[in-house]
Amino acid sequence: MTTGFAIDVRGMTKRFGDHTVVNGIDLQVKHGEVYGFLGPNGSGKTTFIRMLCGLLAADAGEGTCLGLDVIQESESIKRQVGYMTQHFSFYEDLSIVENLDFVARMYALKNRRDVVRDSIERLGLAGRQKQLAGELSGGWKQRLALAACLIHDPKLLLLDEPTAGVDPKARRDFWEQIRDLAGQGLTFLISTHYMDEAERCDRLAYLSYGNLLVHGTASEVIAGAHLTTWSVSGPDLHEITRQLRRTPGVQQAVAFGSMLHVSGTDAISLEQAIAPFRTELHTWQQIKPGLEDVFIHLMDTSKDNFSP
């Protein structure tokens, strides 16, 4: 079956015992799109990704991944998908070239040596190909993992928090590679906790406790939250934060560096709530909410699926 989407699924559900960890999720990702997948730890992102690539059987749902039935043709999907796990999952006592050769054997690739060599050159690993994987920094381990994901020439990459634990430059370099690959037609579904990475995505979705709460472009997600946000700067913000959080009309008061962001969904009630705090000691300014403001709001208003 061929559709206009690399991923086109409906009602995807997974339960562990009495708990539903992925609850009837619908998702469509276009070919060549970089799609961000956000949510707190335990929100179901990893479980959903594993269902898409055939590593975990769904309890309910239907649809296609790369035109193949996600339930009936999971083995075929595996051969066309690259999956990068949260944690480094290669042999630390093998070198870069030995790890990539092992992956190439797993996929039974022809001209294996040429494929491995090309993969090493493509990801800029040539100078380190004989270095043991266990001796690599986080950024170089990330490159090795990406090279392994790409070695069988997949059409879709499922990346589960791929930049966790790497430095800012390595994250930036990684995203430049992602954009280059997307420009060549590769599709990405990327889970992340970083708001700057979410803003680099064409579209994004937010999961909380197994439920898909919002999806769309970053601008659409921000607009759909209907948040009003004020920034506050000045002395003793800790005490103001404590008081604001107990004030009706204020839904969140969160530190952002040397400033405080105060938000609510009812602009009039919020303005009335902050009025007593607007003294000459502090500078108040209404600002456009950002993705982080929105996601904190979504997290605060979600119900834990493991709570009684």
Say yes or no to pLDDT of 307 above 70.
no
Domain shared by 25 and 85, yes or no: yes
Range with the lowest mean pLDDT among 86-90, 159-163, 210-214? Answer: 86-90
pLDDT at 42: 84
The pLDDT value recorded for residue 167 is 84
| Residue 298 within a domain | no
Q: Which residues constitute the domain of residue 232?
A: 228-288
Mean pLDDT, rounded, for 234-242:
93
Question: In the predicted model, is pLDDT for residue 85 greater than 90?
Answer: no
Do 100 and 210 have their domain in common?
yes
For 255-280, how does the pLDDT look when each residue is reduced to its tens digit (9 = 90+)?
998 999 999 999 999 999 999 999 89
Q: Token pair of 136, please?
A: 């690599």
- What CATH number is associated with residue 22? 3.40.50.300
232 has a pLDDT exceeding 50: yes
The residue from 184, 206, 221 where one domain ends is 221
Domain-located, residue 126: yes
User: Quick one: pLDDT band at residue 3, thresholds 50, 70, 90?
Assistant: low
Identify the CA nearest to 163 among candidates 108, 94, 87.
Answer: 87
The whole model's pTM is what?
Answer: 0.89
Q: What average pLDDT does this structure show over 15-23?
A: 92
Q: Which residues pair with 156 in a beta bridge?
A: 81, 187
Give yes or no for residue 125 having a pLDDT over 50: yes
Q: Which two tokens stand for residue 147?
A: 């090279």
Together in a domain, 248 and 279? yes
Instruction: Kindly state whether residues 28 and 164 are assigned to the same domain.
Output: yes
How far is it, in rounded angstroms, from Cα 171 to Cα 185? 21
Residue 177 and residue 57 in one domain = yes
> Do 252 and 213 fall into the same domain?
no
Q: Do 103 and 44 belong together in one domain?
A: yes
- The torsion region of residue 124 among left (phi > 0), alpha (psi -120 to 50) and beta comes to left
Does residue 308 sit within a domain? no
Q: Final residue of a domain: which of 221, 241, 270?
A: 221
Angle, CA 33 vertex, CA 31 and CA 39 arms, to 5°: 125
Q: What is the structure's pLDDT at 303?
A: 64
Tell me, yes or no, whether 41 lies in a domain.
yes
- Span 184-203, mean pLDDT? 93
Structure tokens, 172: 């930036």
Same domain for 37 and 112: yes
Domain boundary among 205, 221, 237: 221
Is there a domain that residue 152 lies in?
A: yes
Q: Which of 39, 4, 37, 44 is nearest to 23 (CA)?
A: 44
Q: Indicate whether 31 and 172 sit together in one domain.
A: yes
Look up tokens 């594993």; give the residue.
Answer: 50
- What was the pLDDT predicted at 1? 46
Residues 102, 83, single domain; the answer is: yes
- Rounded to an integer, the average pLDDT of 146-154 is 93
